[in-house]
Amino acid sequence: MPANTPMMNAYKLVYRNTGVFLEILEPKPGMRTATMENLKEYFSRKQLNAVKSMVVEEAVQRGAGTYRIAEPQPEFVFNEELRIGISNDSMTARAVLLPPDENGGRSITVSEAIKMLNDEGVKFGIIQETLEKVLSEKSYGKAFIAAKGEPAVDGVNGKITFHFSISHTGKPIEDEETGKVDFHYLDNFEKVREGQLLVSRTFATQGTVGTNVRGVQLNPAKGKEAKMPKGQKIRYNDDYTEMYAAVTGRVDYRNELVIVSNVYEVKQDVDLSTGNIDFEGDVLIRKNVTSGMEIKASGDIVVYGGVENARLIAGHSITVTNGFQGGSASAGSEFSAKFIEGCDVYAGEVIRSDSVMFSTLNCGGEIIIYGKRGSIIGGEIKAYHLIAAKTIGAVNHPKTKIFVGIDPKLKNRLVEIEDKLEKANAQFGEIEKVCKYLLSKAFANETISDQTRRALASKAELSQQISDYQRERDEIVNLLSDDGNGVVHVTEMAYPGTIITISEKVYNVEGSGVKAASFRVMSDATVGFTVCDYTPTNAPKPAKK
Q: List, in sequence order, every residue forming a beta bridge with 530; answer none if it has no partner.
A: 518
Degrees to nearest 5, angle at CA 10 with 6 and 11: 105
pLDDT of residue 451: 77
pLDDT score at 1: 42
Rounded Cα distance between 244 and 309, Å, is 39
Q: Measure the CA–CA gap between 62 and 53, rounded to whole angstroms.
A: 14
pLDDT digits (tens, 9 = 90+) for 262-293: 888 898 999 888 888 888 889 999 999 999 99
Q: What angle do CA 65, 70, 72 make, to 5 degrees?
A: 110
Amino acid sitting at position 420: K
pLDDT at 257 over 80: yes
The pTM assigned to this predicted structure is 0.58
Every domain of the chain and the residues it spans: 11-70, 81-148, 159-261, 289-405+483-538, 410-480
Helix (H) or strand (E) holding 320: strand 318-320
Distance between start and end Cα atoms, the chain? 106
460-478 mean pLDDT: 82
Q: State the pLDDT at residue 342.
A: 95
Is the pLDDT confidence value at 305 over 50? Answer: yes
The region of weakest confidence among 4-18, 101-115, 237-251, 340-354 is 4-18
Beta bridge partners of 487: 386
Maximum Cα–Cα distance for the chain, whole Å?
161
250 SS3 class: strand
Proportion of the chain above pLDDT 90, given as a percent: 61
Helical (H) or strand (E) element with 58: helix 53-62
217 vs 102: which has the higher pLDDT:
217
Say which DSSP state 196 is in: -
User: Is residue 174 over pLDDT 60?
Assistant: no
pLDDT at 445: 67
Mind listing the pLDDT tens digit for each residue in 346-386?
999 999 999 999 999 999 899 999 988 999 999 999 998 99
- pLDDT band, residue 176 (cuts 50/70/90): low
Backbone φ, ψ for residue 87 (5° rounding)? -65, 160
528 or 73: which leads in pLDDT: 73
Contact 293, 309 (CB under 8 A): no
Ranking 39-43, 133-137, 489-493, 530-534 by mean pLDDT, the lowest is 530-534
Distance, CA of 403 to CA of 503 (rounded, Å)? 8
SS3 per-residue string spanning 279-300: ECCEEEECCCECCCCEEEECCC
Distance of alpha carbon 21 from alpha carbon 71, whole angstroms: 9
b vs e for 352-368, b when ≥16 Cβ sit within 10 Å of the residue's Cβ? bbbbbbbbbbbbbbbbb
Q: To the nearest whole number, what is the mean pLDDT of the chain?
A: 87
CA triple 517-519-525, angle to 5 deg:
145
| DSSP tag of 537 | G
Q: Residue 541 pLDDT > 50, yes or no?
A: no
Dihedral sign for Cα 401, 404, 408, 411, please: negative
Give 430-462 pLDDT, tens digit per residue: 888 888 777 777 666 666 677 777 878 888 888
Q: Cα-atom radius of gyration of the chain, to the nearest Å?
A: 51
Query: How far apart are alpha carbons 388 and 393 in whole angstroms?
Result: 13
Q: Concatenated DSSP letters for 410-466? A: HHHHHHHHHHHHHHHHHHHHHHHHHHHHHHHHHHHHT---HHHHHHHHHHHHHHHHH
Contact between 277 and 270 under an 8 Å Cβ cutoff? The reply is: yes
Model confidence at 182, pLDDT cuts 50, 70, 90, reads: very low
Cα separation, 415 vs 418, whole angstroms:
5
**Under DSSP, is residue 210 helix (H, G, I), strand (E, B) or coil?**
strand
